[in-house]
Structure 1
Amino acid sequence: MLKLKGFLISCLLLAASINQVVAQLRLPNFFSNHMVLQRETAINFWGWGNAGNQVEITADWFKDTVRTKVDPNGKWITTLPAGKAGGPHRINIYMAGQKITLDDVLLGDVFICSGQSNMEWGGNQNLKEIMDELPTANNPNIRLLQVSKVGAKTPQEQLANAWSTLSAETLKPFSAIGYFIAKEINKDQQVPIGVINASWGGTPAEVWTPEYLILNDPLLLSYAQKQGFAEYRPYENGTLYNSMIAPLKGYNLTAAYWYQGESNVGTYPGYDKLMKTMINSWRSAWNHDFPFYFVQIAPFAYNNQVPLAAFLREQQVKTALELPKTGMVVITDLVDNIKDIHPTLKKEVARRLAELTLVDVYKKPIQDYKSPVYKSQQIKGNSIEISFHYLDGQLTAKGDITDLQIAGADQVFHPAKGTIKGNKLIIQSNEVKSPVAARFGFTEIAMPNLFNSRGLPVSPFRTDNW
Structure 2
Amino acid sequence: MIRMFFYSIACLLPAVLHGAIRLPALVGSNMVLQQNDSVSIWGWANPSERITVFTGWDNRSTTVTTSGDAKWTLKVHTPVAGGPYEIRLKGANEIVLKNILIGEVWLCSGQSNMEYGYYNGIRQIAAELPVCHNNNIRFFNIPKTTAASLQDDCSGKWEVCDSNSLKTFSAVGYFFGLKLQQSLGVPVGLINASWGGTPAEVWAPEHLVAGDPILSAAAARLAPSVWWPNKPGYAYNAMIAPLVNFNVKGVIWYQGEANVNTADTYAPLFTGLIKTWRAAWHRELPFYYVQIAPFSYDKEYQAALLREAQARTSALPGTGMVVVADVTENVKDIHPQDKRTVGNRLANWALGENYGKTGFAWKSPVFKEMSISKNKALIRFANVPASLSIKGEAPVALYIAGADHVFYEASAKVDKDVLIVWSKKVEKPEMVRYGFSNTAIGNIFSLEGLPVAPFRTDDLPVAQ
**So what's the TM-score if we normalise by structure 2?**
0.96
Alignment of 1:174-213 (within 5 A): 174-213=169-208
Q: Any idea what the Cα deviations from partners look like across 1:124-154, whole Å, max 9, x if unmatched?
A: 1121100111122211100000111111111
Q: Distance in 2 between matches of 1:186 and 1:295?
A: 21
Q: 1:84 aligns with which of 75, 80, 94?
A: 80
Is 1:434–2:441 an aligned residue pair?
no
SS in 1 for 2:343: helix
Q: Is the 8 A contact 1:368 1:452 kept in 2?
A: no
Change (3 A) 1:177 1:20: farther
Alignment of 1:414-429 (within 5 A): 414-429=408-423
Equivalent residue, structure 1, for 2:102: 107
Q: Distance in 2 between matches of 1:20 and 1:340?
A: 59
Q: 1:293 aligns with which of 278, 284, 288?
A: 288
Question: Residue 64 of structure 1: CA displacement?
Answer: 2.8
Q: Letter of the aligned partner of 2:334 in structure 1?
A: I
Q: Distance in 2 between matches of 1:373 and 1:20?
A: 64
Q: Distance in 2 between matches of 1:243 and 1:139?
A: 29
Equivalent residue, structure 1, for 2:330: 337
Change (3 A) 1:381 1:166: same
Q: Letter of the aligned partner of 1:448 in structure 2?
A: G
Question: Residue 24 of structure 1: CA displacement?
Answer: 2.4
Is 1:48–2:41 an aligned residue pair?
no
Q: Letter of the aligned partner of 1:441 in structure 2?
A: G
Equivalent residue, structure 2, for 1:308: 302
Is 1:266–2:261 an aligned residue pair?
yes
Question: Residue 53 of structure 1: CA displacement?
Answer: 2.1
Q: Letter of the aligned partner of 1:193 in structure 2?
A: V
Change (3 A) 1:349 1:16: same
Equivalent residue, structure 1, for 2:459: 465
Q: Distance in 2 between matches of 1:72 and 1:356?
A: 44
Q: Letter of the aligned partner of 1:36 in structure 2?
A: V
Q: Is the 8 A contact 2:33 2:78 kept in 1?
A: no
**Consecutive unaligned residues in structure 1, runs of 5 or more:** none
Q: Any idea what the Cα deviations from partners look like across 1:105-133, whole Å, max 9, x if unmatched?
A: 00000011000000000011121100111
Q: Distance in 1 between matches of 2:132 and 2:274?
A: 32
Question: Residue 164 of structure 1: CA displacement?
Answer: 0.7
Q: Distance in 1 between matches of 2:324 and 2:82?
A: 34
Q: Is the 8 A contact 2:16 2:46 kept in 1?
A: no
Q: Distance in 1 between matches of 2:131 and 2:144?
A: 27
RMSD, aligned α-carbons: 1.4
Q: Letter of the aligned partner of 1:393 in structure 2?
A: A
SS in 1 for 2:150: coil
SS in 2 for 1:241: helix
Equivalent residue, structure 2, for 1:252: 247
Q: Distance in 2 between matches of 1:332 and 1:342?
A: 12
Q: Distance in 2 between matches of 1:379 and 1:20?
A: 81
Equivalent residue, structure 1, for 2:353: 360
Q: Is the 8 A contact 1:57 1:91 kept in 2?
A: yes
Equivalent residue, structure 2, for 1:93: 89
Equivalent residue, structure 1, for 2:230: 235
Equivalent residue, structure 2, for 1:38: 34
Equivalent residue, structure 2, for 1:323: 316
Q: Letter of the aligned partner of 1:67 in structure 2?
A: T
Q: Distance in 1 between matches of 2:16 and 2:415?
A: 75
Alignment of 1:399-418 (within 5 A): 399=392, 400-418=394-412
Q: Is the 8 A contact 2:443 2:451 kept in 1?
A: yes
Q: Distance in 1 between matches of 2:262 and 2:14?
A: 53
Between 199-208 and 221-230, report the one with greater CA deviation: 221-230
Identity %: 39
Q: Distance in 2 between matches of 1:11 and 1:235?
A: 48
Between 9-18 and 288-297, report the one with greater CA deviation: 9-18
Change (3 A) 1:424 1:169: same
Question: Residue 303 of structure 1: CA displacement?
Answer: 2.9
Q: Any idea what the Cα deviations from partners look like across 1:75-109, whole Å, max 9, x if unmatched?
A: 111111221111000000111x3111100000000
Question: Residue 46 of structure 1: CA displacement?
Answer: 1.0
Q: Is the 8 A contact 1:152 1:239 kept in 2?
A: yes
Is 1:166–2:161 an aligned residue pair?
yes
Count of matched residue positions in the alignment of Structure 1 and Structure 2: 459
Change (3 A) 1:216 1:173: same
Question: Residue 11 of structure 1: CA displacement?
Answer: 5.3
Equivalent residue, structure 2, for 1:396: 389
Change (3 A) 1:20 1:217: farther
SS in 1 for 2:135: coil
**So what's the TM-score if we normalise by structure 1?**
0.96
Q: Is the 8 A contact 1:157 1:246 kept in 2?
A: yes
Question: Residue 19 of structure 1: CA displacement?
Answer: 4.8
Alignment of 1:139-154 (within 5 A): 139-154=134-149
Q: Letter of the aligned partner of 1:220 in structure 2?
A: L
Q: Letter of the aligned partner of 1:465 in structure 2?
A: D
Change (3 A) 1:11 1:436: farther
Question: Residue 419 of structure 1: CA displacement?
Answer: 1.1
